[in-house]
Amino acid sequence: MPSSCSSIASPDVPISRSSCLGFRPLGWFLRGLISLFFPILRAQWQDWPMSIIEVRDLRKSYGTNFAVDGVDLTIEAGEIFALLGPNGAGKTTTVEILEGFRNRDSGDVSVLGIDPQVRGDSARDFRDRIGIVLQATSDAGDLKVSETVGYFSHYYAGAKDPDEVIEAVGLGEKKNELIRSLSGGQRRRLDVALGIIGNPELLFLDEPTTGFDPEARRAFWGLIRSLRDAGTTILLTTHYLDEAEALADRVAVINKGRIIEVSTPTALGGRATSQARVIWEFDGVMHEELTNEPTSVVSRLAREFDGEIPKLLVSRPTLEDIYLEMVGLTNGAES
């Protein structure tokens, strides 16, 4: 019976027993390395971020107007990603292409590993994996909350339990109420319930807190964070810069169809290293100084005033300041 090592040799070249045995320690050594390092590498691979959305050179025009003009974008699994930009910047067109509601002119787009322009059964599978919360929705006001969420659950193959979803969005006490009796904030929570009932891997949120009072907005932010913590990737579009700063792991600024920058809210536009503004009052006149060393300035002023510094204020540019500078807007008008 031929040896295992002779089976890989040429039939015309004899292999001695000693040369065959020489291969065995090497094989044992390699198997040992694999058994030692493979679990470590596999754990690292699982921790590496996976791209949920990949966009390369995306373009869409309407006549001579380039709504989207060469957008590149990557969104990782498990993050809240905010897309910021003024009206007409290309946000809505970009998001609608990612959702599969609008065809692109050119470029490569992958959402959950699928081209959103796909049709047929593949399109149905794609819809089953995403959730969408539009800025404005119309609902059947004469249906109960539980009826509406239960009805929508039948659209998805792996839908969540409707009662659990209703509780998750904070509408447990309203489940048997008619939709028309809900407040604006409660209706928005219902919109989110309908967006997540299919247990989506990716959730699109379009201006989710428009019209909310401050208390309702912050309560709603808690819901969004809980969805992220449960593993849902979220693409958020909002005009509220404080909302983007509070929720987003990363933000992208788009203007005139092009991405200007992608960064964290704290680092966008060099914000983290921007000069601080120190403001104080002296002899009834307000003074200010821009500096890279605000602590030194405050220490100097404390010595000069021999104690408390009148009306002292130390600040760095807000996300809104940086954003307005990036998109070329001042006082709401394009410069």
Cα separation, 251 vs 246, in Å, equals 11
Report phi then psi at 87, rounded to 5.
Answer: -60, 135
Cβ 189 vs Cβ 169: under 8 Å: yes
User: What pLDDT is recorded for position 17?
Assistant: 41
Same domain? For 139 and 96 the reply is yes
**Cβ-count burial 31-45 (b if 16+ within 10 Å, e if not):** eeeeeeeeeeeeeee
Please give the DSSP secondary-structure letter assigned to residue 5: T
Q: What is the mean pLDDT of each run of 10 residues along the chain (335 residues)?
A: 44 45 53 56 50 95 93 95 93 94 95 92 89 77 91 90 90 92 86 90 90 82 90 93 94 95 91 87 92 92 92 90 80 41
Same domain? For 221 and 149 the reply is yes
Same domain? For 61 and 26 the reply is no
Same domain? For 41 and 174 the reply is no
Answer whether residue 154 is part of any domain.
Answer: yes
Residue 316: give the domain boundaries: 271-334
- Domain of 123, CATH number, reads 3.40.50.300
Last residue of a domain, one of 250, 267, 284: 267
User: What pLDDT is recorded for position 289?
Assistant: 92
Under 8 Å CB-to-CB from 207, ≥6 apart: which residues? 135, 237, 238, 239
Last residue of a domain, one of 210, 241, 267: 267
Last residue of a domain, one of 248, 267, 286: 267
DSSP 289-321: EEES-HHHHHHHHHHHHTSPPTT-EEE---HHH
Residues in the chain: 335
Tell me the torsion sign for CA atoms 318, 243, 210, 116: positive
Same domain? For 90 and 236 the reply is yes
User: What pLDDT is recorded for position 11?
Assistant: 46
Answer whether residue 1 is part of any domain.
Answer: no
Question: In this predicted model, what pLDDT tens digit does every residue of 199-212 receive, in sequence order?
Answer: 999 999 998 887 77
Tell me the torsion sign for CA atoms 174, 177, 181, 187: positive
Answer whether residue 316 is part of any domain.
Answer: yes
Residue 46, SS3?
helix
Answer whether residue 67 is part of any domain.
Answer: yes
Same domain? For 21 and 74 the reply is no
Answer whether residue 96 is part of any domain.
Answer: yes
Same domain? For 231 and 321 the reply is no
Question: In this predicted model, what pLDDT tens digit does every residue of 244-261 receive, in sequence order?
Answer: 999 999 999 999 999 999
User: What pLDDT is recorded for position 187?
Assistant: 87
Answer whether residue 161 is part of any domain.
Answer: yes
| Strand spans (E) along the chain | 51-62, 65-76, 80-84, 106-111, 130-133, 202-206, 233-237, 250-255, 258-263, 276-282, 285-291, 313-315, 329-330, 333-334
Answer whether residue 309 is part of any domain.
Answer: yes
Same domain? For 323 and 256 the reply is no
| Strand spans (E) along 34-105 | 51-62, 65-76, 80-84
pTM of the model: 0.75
- Number of domains the chain contains: 3
User: What pLDDT is recorded for position 329?
Assistant: 58
Same domain? For 325 and 181 the reply is no
Same domain? For 13 and 63 the reply is no
Same domain? For 284 and 317 the reply is yes
The residue type at 99: E
User: What pLDDT is recorded for position 30?
Assistant: 56
Same domain? For 205 and 329 the reply is no
